[in-house]
Structure 1
Amino acid sequence: MADASTVFEFIQNMIVEIKDLEPSEIQQETSIDELGLDSLDYVEIQVGVKREFGVALSPALFEKQIRTLGQLCTYIGTAAATQEA
């Protein structure tokens, strides 16, 4: 099962690699907009999440529902748990 902290660690590590940031710069309260992700970064995150947790992320999530990394991690954890049930 993917809890929010496991998902956050995974996402944090991806963003550290993608954006060359320090882990301390990436917190659950960090807004997605603050990270300055481009379309290829989003695709890389989508592919990584699908591979690791089996959860597909649609671009619409980032436009309407998901504003912070914490919200993203909660969404992924919940979706992964639903698939396991």
Structure 2
Amino acid sequence: MTTRGPEDTTREAFRLFEDGRFPESLAVCNRLLEEAKDPALEVLAATNLFHIGRYEDAEVFFRDLAVRMPDSSYVHSYLGKVLEARGGG
């Protein structure tokens, strides 16, 4: 029996995202974020929410991230995409 550590599981979340398996990637992110906060996983979770059409949830995530990571062009770019998708951009 092999147990995977958080690093392996984090890689799995990113691989699932890259494969377009957004709900599965989000589920892995959520499991990992229950254990410890990780900005990269929070961004990935928010991006997954966007891609599965959960714009309201994605907006909440990205607004919080924008406050904590004000220099992240990625976060601000996706927040703009979310607002546009919701009709507020």
Instruction: Normalising by structure 1, report the TM-score.
Output: 0.31
Greater radius of gyration (CA):
2
Instruction: Determine which structure has the larger helix proportion and give its number.
Output: 2
